[in-house]
Structure 1
Amino acid sequence: MALAPGLRDPVHDGQAVFRAVMEALARPGRIQPLAVPVAPPRPLTPELAALALALADADAPVWLDPVLAESEAVVRFLRFHTGAPVVAAPEAAVFALVADPVRCPDFADFAQGEPAYPDRSATLVLAVETLAEEGGLVLEGPGIRGRAPLSAAPLPADFAARMARNRAGFPLGIDLLLAAPGRLAGLPRSTRVTEA
């Protein structure tokens, strides 16, 4: 079975993805373009693949949700192009790739960081089908002027409650990236998320 190619220009494409991630986390709810050409094996989306290729490495273990973990081609693609170990336990991951957000494990199952090292937490990357600066959720906190609307789907049914529990542990907790076709939004642990 042939291995799918990674980023066409690993240095420049990787930098572009990294900048999009930094902008998304610095300005929660503001959608960033994420148009990096990559054609990973399904069911890994191009956006999940681009984020993994730009962020994961040999020192950043990756957890895959069951939909992705069942694909040997996806596991081989990620191991080859990133060098990152693919781990079975969510709490062992630096990055978690979630193709089926509705069935995402509880956020508390992932590394939350430690009081002396809050940066030793996980970043969850959820593949969503729709993402817009309107509707469903209301965001408040650092990087947001006043309040910002955001809608994304699909998400876990208790998403706002999960985010409230996650924020309650600040500075510990996970950070989230929502990746839709060609688009990206960030929800750092400091963001207050409520339903509109």
Structure 2
Amino acid sequence: MIPKTDAFTGGFSEPVYQSQTVFRALMDGMARPGTLQTVATQVDPPPPVGVAAGAVALCLCDHDTTVWMSSALGKSVFGEWLGFHTGAPLTREKTEARFAFFELGAALPPFGLFSTGTQEYPDRSTTLIVEVAQLADGIPLTLRGPGIKDTHAIAPGPLPETFVRSWADNRAQFPRGVDVILTCGAQFVCLPRTCTITAREQ
């Protein structure tokens, strides 16, 4: 079998510097939930993966981080691309995944199906990277919690109607729980488990 060339191209041209740049944006996003972050470094992941999701994958994944991906991504070259550039192994078991990737329009399973860590090691949980169509004109949501002065408004979409309830259940497990990164093209927002999310009236 001849490997697909897409798996060997589109990664970081300067891995150390570019990974640090993306990591700083991720840390800022986690420290200030809901703030819009932009990937300024060049990366070209295979479709249907967007720039921000690809950059996050290159930054966070390595041979010790097991990755789960939605069915459409599993049928794409993304798994080979991720394996070639990071060495990250894939799994079909949601509870084994450190990171889970969803393409635009993919169904979002209940958060509890993924690893939520343990009381002793809450960091051993899954981070969900979810591609959405927009980050500004979708479902109006209000964020509260550490890193947020009073409240912060976001409007990503599309998201399932059950998202707010699922997040409340996730937040109730703190310090356990999943974290979510919503990506759209070259931009993303972080939703750490420390924040509360409620629906905002339009």
TM-score bracket, normalised by the shorter chain, equals over 0.9
1-side partners of 2:40 and 2:23: how far apart? 12
Instruction: Say what the alpha-carbon RMSD is for the aligned residues.
Output: 1.5
2-side partners of 1:113 and 1:101: how far apart? 27
1-side partners of 2:26 and 2:119: how far apart? 24
1:158 aligned partner: 162
Task: Indicate the larger mover: 5-14 or 22-31.
Answer: 5-14
Contact 1:94 1:121 in 2 (8 A): yes
1:92 aligned partner: 96
Q: Is 1:76–2:70 an aligned residue pair?
A: no
1-side partners of 2:123 and 2:173: how far apart? 13
Gaps of 5+ in 2: none
Task: Indicate the larger mover: 92-101 or 52-61.
Answer: 92-101
TM value normalised by structure 2: 0.92
The residue identity in structure 2 corresponding to 1:114 is T
2-side partners of 1:102 and 1:147: how far apart? 29
1-side partners of 2:195 and 2:50: how far apart? 26
TM value normalised by structure 1: 0.94
The residue identity in structure 1 corresponding to 2:27 is M
Q: What is the CA-CA distance between 1:36 and the residue it aligns to?
A: 2.4
Flag the 1:156–1:101 CA change in 2: closer, same or farther, 3 A: farther
The residue identity in structure 2 corresponding to 1:8 is S
Q: What is the CA-CA distance between 1:4 and the residue it aligns to?
A: 2.1
2-side partners of 1:36 and 1:10: how far apart? 10
Runs of 4+ in structure 1 off by over 6 angstroms are none
Deviations 1:82-121 (A, max 9, x none): 1010111111100111114550111111100011111101
Q: Is 1:17–2:16 an aligned residue pair?
A: no
2-side partners of 1:134 and 1:101: how far apart? 14
Aligned residues: 195
1-side partners of 2:141 and 2:125: how far apart? 24
Contact 2:12 2:43 in 1 (8 A): yes
1-side partners of 2:169 and 2:104: how far apart? 21
Contact 2:68 2:100 in 1 (8 A): yes
Gaps of 5+ in 1: none
